[in-house]
Amino acid sequence: MMKEERIKFLISRYQQGVFALVLYLIGGDQDKTYDICASSFAEAMRACSSPEREGIFLAKVIGIAVEKARAIKTIPVFKELEFLDLPASEQGPLRLLIKAFWKLAFDDKALVLLREQLNLSYRQIAAVMRKTESDTRSEVNQARTRLREIIEDTLKYE
């Protein structure tokens, strides 16, 4: 069982990253994101006995959250970017990026987010996604390329 102080520390450290990960994976539904993240954290805490093993904890939280998000079928609804903690002036260009991002396949989204946003190493991503490290490396690059292609297409019609 983990100590409460340690739990609070881990929550504060990783809540934003995991919340953002799930939010973009399931297409911007904040309520579902909230539920998925909260239960993922709770399950991961139950599974991790030692508070010192932060790496295991993070891998477990992300692994559970990704699987839960994968199981949920949602259609991305493009609402106001009320969930972004950025000034309105910076939100404009991101609107296009998010729109393009939601057109990516689930695994592509997960790979790009784990690498670019949570800054995980390829080994950690490989562990979470249950792939080999070299596959992960190339798939992350392919996902980035696909995202750029989608952005390119989106720009054409904007």
Partner 1 sequence: MTCDDIKARLTPFLDDLLIEAEYKAYCDHLNACEQCREHVRSIGSLSNQLWKLGKVRVPEDFGSTILYKFSHFEQMIQSSRVILSAKHVMIGLTLMLLGITASSAIHYFRNRQPPPKEEDVPIVRAQIVGPRHPPSDEEARILMRQLEVIAAGVGMLSKVMSVEGTPQETAAKENITDEGIPMEKESPVQENEIIDFQVIPLHWHFQYPEETNEAALDAKRQRIKQQKELAQTKLDEIESTIRLLEEEKEKNQIKLGQPYSQELKETKLARERQIELGLQQWAEGIRQQNAVIGQLEESNRQLEFNRQERLKEGKQKETAHRTKISNILNISGIMPDYKNDHLFVFSSSGEKLKDVRDQILFASQGTSSFHDYANGEAVLPDREYRISMFFDDKGNSSFHWHINAIRPEQKSNLLRLIEEKSASIDYKSEELLIFSVPNTELQKLLIRIQAAGVHILRYGSQEIKKDISQSRLISISVYFAK
Contact positions vs partner 1 (CB under 8 A): 4, 7-9, 11-13, 15-17, 19-20, 23-24, 34, 37-39, 41-43, 45-50, 52-60, 82-86, 90, 93-94, 96-98, 100-101, 112-113, 116-119, 121, 123-124, 126-127, 141, 144-145, 147-148, 151-152, 155
Work out how close the CB of 73 gets to partner 1 at its nearest, in angstroms, rounded to a whole number.
Answer: 22
For the chain, the C-alpha Rg in angstroms (whole number) is 16
Torsion angle of the four alpha carbons 124, 129, 134, 137, in this order, in degrees rounded to the nearest 10: -80
Q: Which is nearer to partner 1, 119 or 157 (CB)?
A: 119
φ/ψ (deg, to 5) at 76: -60, 125
Q: How many CB atoms sit inside 10 A of residue 55's CB? A: 10
Cβ proximity to partner 1: between 50 and 74 the closer is 50
Phi, psi at residue 38, to the nearest 5°? Answer: -60, -45
Q: Shortest distance, CB of residue 131 to partner 1, whole angstroms? A: 11
